[in-house]
Structure 1
Amino acid sequence: MNKIRITKQFSFETAHALYGYDGKCRNLHGHSYKLSVTVMGTPIADTSHVKLGMVIDFGDLKKIVKEDIEDVFDHATVFNKNTPHVELARELEQRGHDVILVDYQPTTENMILDFAERIKKKLPNTIELHSLRLQETETSYAEWYASDNE
């Protein structure tokens, strides 16, 4: 059977601050992130199947990413919970802001690793996560490939 890769793109707004960083990104700031999710599988060949010819329904992939990434990170602020930023996080939460505390420095590189794990856990067994691309700015992005992480 032929393997096919399909890609769906997503976008969300997220703020973060990089504790201990030696540049401007140590300050609280936000990005308009663009996430491209590429999965791989064999198109359904069962002629009686409602999703005949699909690797995965784009709507099903959208549901996974929306629930586990878009709805969580959109218009939220991400901080490394192992830094003094946790004090700022508590203050923001008390004022009604959405805050995410993570175990890592919230760089694009670390966020893409987190996203890969979240998506892999939800994909059907017949579908592989092939790659992710997380664009932080118009000119800067990180990429993750399953083949690089085997």
Structure 2
Amino acid sequence: MSNIRITKQFTFETGHALYGYDGKCKNVHGHSYKLSVTVIGTPITDASNVKFGMVIDFGDLKRIVKEEIVDIFDHATVFNQNTPHIELANELKNRGHHVILVDYQPTSENMVTDFADKIKKRLPESIRLHSLRLQETETSFAEWYQSDNL
């Protein structure tokens, strides 16, 4: 049986700030992110299996990505835990805002790498994460490919 790639797309809204950056993105701002998740595997050949013909049920992939990424990052503000914005982050938390502190600069490049690590841990053994595309704006995105990270 052939290897097949399937892709599921997700959207979420997230704010962030890039501390130490020399442009406008040093300010707190937000994006309407689009995340495309592509996995690869062989379709199930057992005709008695309810998932017959599927690489992975799109619903199962959706559940993994929603639990690991979308439900956590949607309508959150992300800061590097070492940012001078930590006082702002704490003030927002104290006012009931959803703030995520990460151990990296929250660029699309670092976020897509973090997302890949989280998703890979949850996939069934027979399924491999092929690639992720995190689109930050209409014209800007970061891509992660497993083949580039062997």
Residue matched to 1:103: 103
Matched, 1:26 2:12: no
Deviation at 1:102, TM superposition (A): 0.1
Deviation at 1:41, TM superposition (A): 0.2
Gaps of 5+ in 2: none
Structure 1 vs Structure 2 CA RMSD: 0.4
Output aligned runs, 1:22-101, within 5 Å: 22-101=22-101
Gaps of 5+ in 1: none
Give distance in 2, aligned partners of 1:88 and 1:127. 41
**Quick one: percent identity of the two aligned structures?**
78
Give distance in 2, aligned partners of 1:124 and 1:95. 39
What SS does the aligned partner of 2:91 have?
helix
Give distance in 2, aligned partners of 1:35 and 1:66. 11
Output aligned runs, 1:110-121, within 5 Å: 110-121=110-121
Give distance in 1, aligned partners of 2:69 and 2:48. 33
TM-score, with normalisation over the residues of structure 1?
Answer: 0.99
TM-score, with normalisation over the residues of structure 2?
Answer: 0.99
What SS does the aligned partner of 1:19 have?
coil
What SS does the aligned partner of 1:5 have?
strand
